[in-house]
Amino acid sequence: MEVDFAFACDYADLSGKIHALGIGFDTIFAREVPARHPIFYVVAQLRSSVAEAGVKEFEFRLIDPDGTDVIKPLKGSFEVPAPAGVTETKGRIGMAFHNVRFPRYGHYSLHLVVQGREMVRLPLRVAPQPQPQPPQQQE
């Protein structure tokens, strides 16, 4: 099983085609910590041999800079189909993370583990909100 793609985004719908908004962010800006982020999604597409077809168990983990789970791992299953007449197939996973509390600024990571094997690791940083710069005066 190999990863075709994986990304974090603001919203995703995987019914049929993948529809996603705000694809590929890797930084959450916060005025202060602890900070809560209302919702974000992680989407992955995995490609495999039809010999690997069947139901697969997965979990998403959100890890803090010390290697500790920020939230309880989100677990589920998905099916890798075995269509006739092909040698490889794909499975898609999407998971929503609701109201996640980030205890401090720093580097976090999102991990997708399928059947006990880490398939994806996405970096995620929580940083202070940038301060607005005063307008430049024309001379």
Is 65 exposed, middle or buried, given 0-12, 13-18 or 19+ CB atoms closer than 10 A? middle
Task: Give the E-state strand segments of the chain in sequence order.
Answer: 2-9, 11-13, 19-21, 27-30, 35-49, 54-63, 74-80, 88-102, 106-114, 117-128
Distance of alpha carbon 117 from alpha carbon 122, whole angstroms: 15
Judge whether 62 and 108 are in contact, CB under 8 Å.
Answer: yes
pTM for the predicted model, two decimal places: 0.85
Q: Which two tokens stand for residue 30?
A: 């916060």
Q: Which two tokens stand for residue 91?
A: 């499975």
Q: Given this model, what pLDDT does residue 22 score? A: 94
Q: Given this model, what pLDDT does residue 139 score? A: 67
95-132 per-position pLDDT tens digit: 999 999 999 999 999 999 999 999 999 999 999 998 88
pLDDT tops 80 at residue 137? no
